[in-house]
Amino acid sequence: MEILSIDISPKTPLVKFNAQEGKLEFRGRSIPENSIEFYTPIFDWIDKYSIQPKSETNINIQLEYFNTSSSKCLLDIFKKLQNLHTSNKSKVTVTWFYEEDDEDMLEAGEDYQAIIKVPFIMSKI
Amino acid sequence: MFDIYDFYEKMEDGKIMLSFKGEITSDLLTSILHIMESKLDNIGEEPKLKKKVYNVLVECLQNLYHHNDGTGNQNLVKSDSQNSALFLIGRSDNSTYKIITGNYILKENVLDFQSKLELINSMSKDELKEYYINTLSNESFSDKGGGGLGMIDIARKSGQKFEYKFTPINNIYSFFSLIIKVTQ
């Protein structure tokens, strides 16, 4: 399966998904006005990956800012990964990065942790 | 003649960092956010507060972008005000930021929106967290993509109550004025 690679922009994050390694990565900001447009290819990639996933899937989220319309898209990504995890197709781990003094970002990670049944690691940068 | 000095002084007294009145476009949002980020860096704002202000700004501006009911409508009193919204940000000496927005809203939407704002204002920090999580996990996207989370998120990040007012304009429209304070 092809690597999904999206360059960083002022309003959207760097995205790098590698199916061979079972590694998914977000880095930067996610504040587009139309988040569905940005996230649709990402959803599609995960759906394809989910047909034959690696035994372990690691997703790293290192966001500086994200808006509420992206928060809904992130939740949809986590839900897709939760399906992989609960169906035992792949052991999923989410690593949620936050800067030391950024309580809001830590709290945002904890919000997802409360909704999604996948192990979360909160990692201070 | 229009008193420009008076206008200037009012802006100065209000410690206005940036103001805008006009059509809110995607490019404009990018520019405003870029300018504000530089300004926050230049005054050496404390990183934690800087992030809060930036986050609240993003949501406020995107609310104006997505939810300006006046957009494209011919029924407004002033023909040039159709696509217009107002945005101001000021910073007082004790590092309190005040974000002010104004935009048209359809009268039929006022009651629902008002009760949502009242509900948010009545909530504690923990209640807001719960409300946010419930809304995030239960609500589907609206066609505008916001999913109703914006105001809850602003309230959580600002930690202050909203000040707001609906001014009736005509049979169809009211004008919605909002003040959000962001402090440490």
The answer to whether A67 contacts B59, with C-beta atoms less than 8 Å apart, is yes
Binning chain A into helix, strand and coil, the percentages to the nearest 5 are 40, 30, 30
Q: What is the DSSP letter of A119?
A: -
pLDDT tier at B96 (50, 70, 90 boundaries)?
very high
The pLDDT, as a whole number, for residue B119 is 95
- Mutating which of A39, A72, A116 best tests the B interface, going by the most B Cβ atoms within 10 A? A72
Q: With contacts defined as CB-CB under 8 Å, which chain A residues touch B129?
A: 107, 111
pLDDT tier at A101 (50, 70, 90 boundaries)?
confident
B45 in contact with A at a CB cutoff of 8 Å? no
**Residue span of the structural domain in which A74 resides:** 36-119
Q: Are A54 and A17 in contact (CB under 8 A)?
A: no
Lowest mean pLDDT among B23-37, B39-53, B80-94: B80-94
- The label of the residue with tokens 């009736």 reads B168
The pLDDT, as a whole number, for residue B79 is 47
**A20-73 pLDDT per residue, tens:** 999 999 999 999 998 999 999 999 999 999 999 999 999 999 999 999 999 999
Q: Where are the domains of chain B?
A: 4-182
Q: What is the DSSP letter of A66?
A: E
A44 in contact with B at a CB cutoff of 8 Å? no
The fold adopted by the segment(s) B4-182 is: Heat Shock Protein 90 (3.30.565)
Count of structural domains, chain A: 1
Residue A46 lies in a domain: yes
The token pair that represents B125 in the structure block: 């920090």
pTM, entire model: 0.90
Residue A24 lies in a domain: no
The token pair that represents B119 in the structure block: 């509900």
